[in-house]
Structure 1
Amino acid sequence: MVEKVLMKGNEAIGQAAVKAGCKAFFGYPITPQTEVAAYMSKVMPKINRVFIQAESEVAAINMVYGAAGSGVRCMTSSSSPGVSLKSEGISYIAAAELPCLIMNIVRGGPGLGSIQPAQSDYFQATKGGGHGDYNMPVFAPASIQEMIDLIQDAFDVADMYRTPCMVMGDGMLGQMMEPVEFKERPQKKLPEKTWAANGLRGRKKHNIINSLYLAPEDLQAHNNKLQEKFNKIRENEVRYELTNCDGECDLILVAYGTTSRICKNVIKMAKKEGINIGLIRPITLWPFPMEAFEKTVNKTKHGYLSVEMSCGQMVYDVKLASNGRKPVGFYGTSGGVIPEPSDILKKAKAMMGGEK
Structure 2
Amino acid sequence: MTWNDRLSSIEMFEDIEFNTDIVAALEAAAEARPLAPLRFFTPTFRAYGTEDVKGCNKNSFPAFSITAGACALNCDHCQAKILDPMIPATDPAMLERKVRDLVLLQDLQGFLLSGGSNRRNEVPYERYYPTVEKLKREFPHLKIAMHSALLDDVKARRMEAAGVDVAMTDIIGAQETIRDVYHLDRPVEDFERTLAALSATSMDVVPHIVIGLHYGRILGEFNALDIIARHRVSALVLVVVMPYYAPSNRPFETVTPEDAARVFVAARERLSDVPVQLGCARPAGMHKLITDAYATMAGFDGIAYPAEGIRALATAIGRPVEQAHACCSIALDGLRGRTACAA
- Please give the TM-score of this superposition, normalised by the length of structure 1: 0.29
Point out which structure has higher relative CO (alpha carbons under 8 A, 6+ apart). Answer: 2
Greater strand share, 1 or 2?
A: 1
- Please give the TM-score of this superposition, normalised by the length of structure 2: 0.30
